Structure 1
Amino acid sequence: MDAVKLAIIGLALLLAAASAIATGVARPDDAIIVAERVWPILLFVVSVTIVAELAAAAGVFDAAAHRLSRVGRGRTAALWAAVVILAVAATAFLSLDTTAVLLTPVIVAVVRARRLDPLPFVFATVWLANTASLVLPVSNLTNLLAADLLHLDPWEFLALLGPSAVIAIAATVGVLVVFFQRSLHGTYPDVTPPAAADPQLLRIAAIVVIVLLPLLVSGLAPWIPASAAALVLLGVFGWRHPRALRWRLVPFSLVVFAAGLFFAVGILETLGSGALIGAIAGTGTDLLSLWRLTGTGLISANLINNLPAYLLIEPVAGSPERLGALLIGVNAGSLITPWASLATLLWHRRLRVEGVDVGWTRFVLMGLVGAPLIALTAVIPLAR
């Protein structure tokens, strides 16, 4: 699904929502409530995308990946472990789309330079982009919505879902090791570090990212430090490398798509969709009830995409534990179908550009094994 298709879908959803309001099916107040809730989230998405794109253009991810490869000291398994660490950190602080879009081509370049099979590494990036997106509110759009609903700061969110996130990440690593254990043996040659086109720009961009990361968990609304970081980098690039400043830095298609989903699902809720979803998702916070909710989220995400799945089921979650179980289902469970997570589609598109062939049949079969195992085990700490 390319950017144009995303934008077209988003515009169609926005038109449908506007038509519902114009014909009296929904009230204008419903749209205002949705708008008040989502504008900070969409502003954060735009800002953090600009930060990630400009940091990548400055060579921050290339430098980080090379430094981690040196930690591996020529051992393939150690390099893979370093990629896991980088993917988890990038996802947790800069969102799953950053890992899928910007980190993936860097990892491909790193492993190709060392003549290694890219598949264990690129599967680590896409699976961890989804499963490690449970760590912080800023890791995923769904998390931002949940944190806003429950009025959780980053530390409270981490207290709720931190143990589940650790289990999801560990289970992801365990499953991938089983799938790719043969490819993770052996060694690789050392290579020359990548040369930065503008070392001063690289240093400034790295400092901005390093300062931004703790601010994202400081308790400030995420859009505030992200917007400030984006403005700083835009100014620095305007000074050092103005040709890099293009409109494509702004993820217009993603914003239109997300806005369309928010408004369309918000209006569906006013029309009574919650009753049907509630009958399917059930109630309760015991383990079996949470598994039921997680399974509902997992199946829905793999059928229609994780963001609309979350929005549809959110009204019946009912408690922090149930909302956490829903996030596990729609985030960590989005590993089966290509469209379950936008990050997965973006990841696959980047791989095609890089000439790496990953068939969807293999992706689906691996996901059918990994997604239920990862999601259901991650729910266990939430049970009451």
Structure 2
Amino acid sequence: MMLAGTLCLVSGFLPWPAFLKLAGRTIPVLSFVVAMTLVTELVDDAGLFRVVTGRIASLGRGRVFLLWLLVIALATVSTVFLSLDTTAVLVTPVVVLLAVHAKIPPLPFALTTVWLANTASLLLPVSNLTNLLAQDRLALRPMEFAVLLWAPALVGVLVPVVLLWLAFRKNLRGRYGPQPAHHVRDRPLLYVSGGTVVVLLPALVSGIPVAFPAMAAALFLLVVFLWRRPSTLRWSMVPWRPLMLASGLFPLMEALHSHGLAQVLTPVAGSGDGLGDLLRLAALGAGAANAANNLPAYLAMEPVAGSPVRLAALLVGVNLGPLVSPWASLATLLWHERLQTLNLRVRWGGFAVAGLAAVVLTLPLAVLALWLSNGMP
């Protein structure tokens, strides 16, 4: 994909002025992605997520349903403040192991993390790469962004959770035994990592460009780990796959827009702010995400989402919609890789059917919530 983007630039298919404008917009976004990935990888290595899940196991008081509710809270908070990839990559393994040690069927917990990694990613710009691009286009502060999207974001959490409970309610009954204690290798490192996250989270919603606090936190933790545990640092912590994907898709889509892609999509996507037009745009975004991936789906249709509420409807489609195909979002692929390392198998046929049912129910309700909360006529 990166080769395709490079060829667009070298061949002149992407004009140089358009590339410079694109670079000015996307370099801060990609810098944030790299910095936040490093932060979450390092705090995970310090043991923060395992300590949190251990605390969750204690708070569950031996009741499976209460434990599941606490996992929902963890996955939602992780997605909203640390991004969907963090939930898919770092929360999934500790949650699945928590279920295994508790002798609870792990599939309901695994499916909870991947659904919420996608559907809980609407509220803040930092929750999803698509949101960061939309925030840049709308020039909104994080809290203004949340005001625009709070209602569909709430639907995106509540409806999938209800569906998961209906599907797995028999597995979520009963009690579980004590969990094995987690040994903290370096307690000062754990405290420093936890404190860094506590300081970082409000900074990400303060209105400061999010790349700055994220890069500051990443640099601070890199220095701390160089001092305390240098063997932890490795090149695989850098999110090469998202970077390669984005570095190719951004110029490719910009080149297509330079040659009239928006004009082709406008008759299909519509142009109004009415409920029907918003539903059509969200459905188109969800369909394109499941056919290809949510990032190119967003990039392709961003220019035809000409108002804030239309752009919000597009986000509803590309964020809540990728529950059917495994490639619809990178988070789902990363989630599946983590499950394979844990020897937990997922049947993609069943995954697709369940995801389709969730999308069919969640998407219209989320668009309706968006339309009503923004005072649409």
- Which of 16, 20, 32 is the aligned partner of 2:7? 16
Alignment of 1:39-54 (within 5 A): 39-54=27-42
Aligned: 1:281 with 2:264: no
Displacement of 1:362: 1.0
| Cα deviation 1:115-157 (Å, max 9, x = unaligned) | 1100110101000000000010000000000000000110000
Matches within 5 A, 1:50-65: 50-65=38-53
Q: Deviations over 1:158-186 (max 9, x none)?
A: 00001110111001101111111111111
Instruction: Indicate whether 1:101 and 2:101 are aligned.
Output: no
Give the counterpart of 2:196 among 192, 195, 208: 208
- Among 328, 353, 362, the alignment partner of 1:365 is 353
1:68 aligns with: 56
- Among candidates 234, 253, 264, match of residue 246 of structure 1: 234
- The residue aligned with 2:117 is 129
**Aligned equivalent of 2:251:** 263
Query: In structure 2, what is the Cα distance between the partners aligned to 1:234 and 1:245?
Result: 8
Distance in 2 separating the partners of 1:362 and 1:66 = 31
Q: Any idea what the Cα deviations from partners look like across 1:194-249, whole Å, max 9, x if unmatched?
A: 11111111111111111111111010101111001101110111111000011111
Q: What is the SS of the residue equivalent to 2:327?
A: helix
- 1:317-369 Cα shifts (integer Å, max 9, x gaps): 01111100000000001100000000000000110011111111111010110
Separation in structure 2 between the aligned mates of residue 155 and residue 89 of structure 1, nearest angstrom? 16
Preserved CA contact (<8 Å) 2:253 2:299 = yes
Summarize the alignment of residues 1-384 of structure 1 with structure 2, pairs less than 5 Å apart. Answer: 9=1, 11-21=2-12, 25-383=13-371, 384=376
Letter in 2 for 1:175: L
Distance 1:69 1:323 in 2: 39
- State the alpha-carbon separation in 1 of the partners of residues 57 and 366 from structure 2: 30
Aligned-CA RMSD value: 0.9
Counterpart residue type for residue 3 of structure 2: A
Matched-pair contact (CA < 8 Å) for 2:270–2:277: yes
- Structure 2, unpaired ranges of 5+: none
- Kindly provide the CA deviation profile for residues 15-65 of structure 1, in whole angstroms up to 9, marking residues without a partner as x: 3322442xxx33111111110110000000000000000010000000111
8 A contact 2:9–2:15 mirrored in 1: no
TM-score by length of 2: 0.97
| Identity fraction in percent | 46
CA apart distance, 1:382: 2.2
Q: Counterpart of 1:135 in 2: which secondary structure?
A: coil
- Consecutive unaligned residues of structure 1, counting only runs of 5 or more, are 1-8
In structure 2, what is the Cα distance between the partners aligned to 1:223 and 1:94?
A: 13
User: Following the alignment from structure 1 to structure 2, what is the Cα–Cα distance between the partners of residues 15 and 223?
Assistant: 25
How far apart are residue 109 of structure 1 and its match?
1.3
Q: CA deviation at 1:313?
A: 0.4
Query: C-alpha distance in 2, partners of 1:110/1:211?
Result: 27
Tell me how far 1:372 sits from its aligned partner.
2.1
| CA–CA separation in structure 2 for the residues paired with 1:139 and 1:16 | 31
Partner of 1:6: none
**C-alpha distance in structure 1 between counterparts of 2:78 and 2:69, whole Å:** 14
The 2-side partners of 1:125 and 1:13 are apart by 33
- Paired residue secondary structure (2:170): helix
Aligned mates of 1:95, 1:183 — CA distance in 2: 28
TM-score calculated relative to the size of structure 1: 0.95
